[in-house]
Structure 1
Amino acid sequence: MTEDVRGLLADAFSLYRDSPRAAGLLREALEHLEQPLRVGITGAAGTGKSTLAAALGDWPTRALRDLALLDDPPPGTLTDATVRLFRHLEPDELAAALPPARSAFARQTAVDTVLVLARADETGAGRIDALLTAKQLARRAWREDPLCSGSQGVIAVAGQLAYGARAFDDDEFELLAAFAAVPREELERYLISVDSFTDPAFPGPVSVDTRRSLVSRFGLFGVRLALTLIRTGSDSQLKLSAELVRRSGLGELRDTIAGCFAARADALKARTAVVRLETVLQAEPRPHGDRLAARVERFAATAHDFRELRLIADIRGGRTALSGDPAEEAVQLLGAQGTTPEERLGLAPDADPREVYAAGIDAVRRWRHEAERPDRPPAERAAAHVVVRSAEGLLALFA
């Protein structure tokens, strides 16, 4: 795919060599093919973009280390994927932030966005079940709202809690543990608001400044949740940190970025380059430019990565008839758990090539049968055909 796009850009550069602006845009796109994937963290003021970017940036995983996270990139910045934050998943807010793509190719291959219901710990006035409620809202929006269904996921995340949980130390854990040891009836009225938590009358010899620092790091919801978790078994800094991160939604977001963006870095960078090429073709029409446009259309028609990502999102979002074990197998074959043959087939990384080939043959036969069943609706058969193409691609590696 990358080589095809490189050829497209080279031919376009020849066509626009006399236009400094167009040539510069094309050169930037060409050079970016060799650079790390760029993921923009965007959203309106107050959504916690910088906090979330910091929490993700501090995560020690290979998948995230191999990409560049851009905190609120300015307009015109070349980005390959976007994590877009919202305070509320309201239609007006979504419509304003998600305008239709102007490029035909971009619309056909719209697999580059994850939506985040930000500051999820504030849902429902910050009750102890706020994160659960926020996750339910996010899941419903992804399944039911057409404005959300085009994304690779809608994920509820408490960014402040995630960042605090990733960064806090043993001293802060001991402080929280000391608070948790105070009888609940004595402590409860000081956990109603930030003002009450920093009240000088707070039980125990902890200074106002220390309490203010703690609530600044975790948020009041995070403090309350941490105390509950300590009382119910998270009795070490490591245990508490892991549980707070898990509940914050940061892990789900990280896995989505890794699976949908980092694992498809070459395809997404190629997409970025082709979108840039279409922009140039539209802005500065040239004789024979229609030939390049036709090649872009052919590229869109044959780029299987984008169909895989679109179908993964549709299956996970409940917008197909696939469910249960067939759905799980489909998303695995489509590359949701990794794009190596072994990962797609659910085999060990060091599986014997003969085992990999046999599993691939079995997958092709099984899904080809599903694709040809006359009793299945057309949309379901079409989805099965995409899975067949993915499985056939594995066998092509052995040719």
Structure 2
Amino acid sequence: MRGPLDSARAVVAAARRLYAFDPTAIAELDELDRRLDGPLRIALVGSVKAGKSTLLNGLLGERIAPTDARECTRIVTRYHYGATPSVRGLLTDGTPALLPAQRQPGRLELALQGLSPDEFERLDVSWPAPGIQGVTFIDTPGTISVTEDVSSQTDRFLLPEHGATGADAVVYLLRSLHDSDVRYLQTLHDRTRHGNAAIGAIAVLSRADELGAGRLTAMVSVNEAVERLRDHPALHGVCETIVPVAGLLGTGAMTLRQSDFSVFRSLATRHPDETRQLMISAERFLATPDDELPSERVRADLVDRFGMYGIRLALAAVRGGVDDAGELAEELLRRSGLEELRRVIDVHFVQRQSELKAHSIVLAVHRFVRSRPVPGSDEIVVMADEHMAGAHTFAETRLLGRIAARRLHLSADLADELERLVGGHGGSPECRLGVDGQELSAQELLDLAIHHLQRWRELTVNPLVDHETYRAAKTAERSCETIIVTLMGREHRASVTFG
């Protein structure tokens, strides 16, 4: 069975043969072909001050992306894994520029060497951060900016009139659900949709601690808000799920030092009434004169790296029995929502990267031949249409969103089974069948897959099921068939190898 990348390469190859007479066209098609072998591109998108760079730093595990209003935040910036740190710029006239990058205490400083941000098409940062391996994360300027030129950079990158979109998947950051966010997500979906496929998109309710006013119970109220957003009709079909994240807390947890733990432990020994007064606000925490408190510089560093919510959580955790830096870092990371976001990105994007990359490239070829028709280009359009129509993985991701929003009338057990079968816990046949880590024979796996297929096929012919359940059952049926084909292909390869 031909995979999505092979199918996409076939579409590109057919277009190259058709446009062999045009060197400019061949150069564009060659670039599309190279992207199929490159890393998955995930863009972080949202309005100004939505927390894109802070969240990106959490995903990378280091404070690399600039988080203030400096000039670099106005440029599309790609972050790749590299053994040697480097920063390269590409100017709008196509000229490359090697830029200095200085490691300051706790952060990376980028400098544009006297050039204006408007002169740059993009920046490429290579850094030995483990969170970048196998993926290119892309920080984009705000979609709604004080200047139209800045926000239009993101539009040109994601929604070009011609050529491929600059990303294969999008993490869209919301601070709340504004009309502008809904419009952008809908536009993104409409401009990248073809057949059953569209760009991968998940939403993040970012800066979640601020939405809860930094209280210890902030994430509880935020989780309730997320449940309401998941069921919001304006988001149905345009994003796959929504995850709440306190990005600053996650970044702080991943960079927590032993010295930070010592400061938290010292603060936790103070009388609770004193601490309560001290923690009323960041201003009170920083300005309170007390020789027994950490220095103002140390306190400012804690606020900068953890936020008041993070400091309050750390004190509560230490008082609750956490007694070392590693344990505290794990607790803060868990509370931040960052690990759940990593899991969602892995399930929705990384494990489906072949389909997502193939979609971006085939869509670009489709637009290319439609905009520059020549005799025979209709055949390329048909090939692209057939590729898009067969993209079952996009039906799975849409179904995962409906499951998360609890829009299906299924028992809890059946909903859990459905989520697993369509890849919600992992993409391998073993994960989908719920037997990951178990030693089952090929025949046992095949029998289990057939059992699930029969169960969901029965639902599709049940006249009493509602339309939503019928659609879900049809998707599960197709997923089971794909599992069976994969297992049979695996068995065939084994027999060829050893037979």
Place the TM-score, normalised by the shorter chain, in its bin.
Answer: over 0.9
SS of match in other structure, 2:231: helix
Q: Give aligned pairs, total.
A: 399
Match of 1:57 among 57, 60, 73: 60
Which segment drifts farther, 151-160 or 56-65? 56-65
Normalized per residue, the structure richer in strand is 2
Q: Percent identity?
A: 32
Which segment drifts farther, 111-120 or 263-272? 111-120
In structure 1, the partner of 2:83 is none
Which segment drifts farther, 325-334 or 64-73? 64-73
| Pairing 1:1-399 to 2, within 5 Å after superposition | 1-58=4-61, 65-72=133-140, 75-76=156-157, 78-96=166-184, 98-103=186-191, 105-106=193-194, 108-110=196-198, 112-147=200-235, 149-202=237-290, 204-349=292-437, 350-396=439-485, 397-398=487-488
Cα gap change, 1:282 to 1:102, in 2 (>3 Å): farther
| Structure 1 vs Structure 2 CA RMSD | 2.4
Distance in 1 between residues matched to 2:258 and 2:274, nearest whole Å: 25
Distance in 2 between residues matched to 1:344 and 1:180, nearest whole Å: 45
After superposition, what is the alpha-carbon deviation per residue over 1:119-146, rounded to whole angstroms, capped at 9, x for unaligned?
A: 1110143222222222221221112232
Does the 8 A contact of 1:89 with 1:117 survive in 2?
no
**TM-superposed deviation, 1:86:** 2.0
**TM-score (normalizing by structure 1):** 0.92
Distance in 2 between residues matched to 1:251 and 1:121, nearest whole Å: 16
Cα gap change, 1:119 to 1:296, in 2 (>3 Å): same
Cα gap change, 1:130 to 1:19, in 2 (>3 Å): farther
**TM-superposed deviation, 1:320:** 2.6
Cα gap change, 1:95 to 1:357, in 2 (>3 Å): same
What amino acid is aligned across from residue 331 of structure 1 in structure 2?
E
Does the 8 A contact of 2:44 with 2:138 survive in 1?
yes
SS of match in other structure, 2:287: coil
Does the 8 A contact of 2:421 with 2:432 survive in 1?
yes
**TM-superposed deviation, 1:271:** 0.8
Distance in 2 between residues matched to 1:317 and 1:122, nearest whole Å: 24
Does the 8 A contact of 2:285 with 2:299 survive in 1?
yes
Distance in 2 between residues matched to 1:68 and 1:369, nearest whole Å: 42
Distance in 2 between residues matched to 1:190 and 1:142, nearest whole Å: 37
Distance in 2 between residues matched to 1:129 and 1:369, nearest whole Å: 44
* Unpaired runs of at least 5, structure 2: 63-127, 142-153, 158-164, 490-499
**TM-superposed deviation, 1:30:** 1.1
Which segment drifts farther, 75-84 or 330-339? 75-84
Which segment drifts farther, 297-306 or 172-181? 297-306
SS of match in other structure, 2:482: helix
Distance in 2 between residues matched to 1:390 and 1:81, nearest whole Å: 22
Which segment drifts farther, 377-386 or 354-363? 377-386
Cα gap change, 1:389 to 1:188, in 2 (>3 Å): same
SS of match in other structure, 1:113: strand
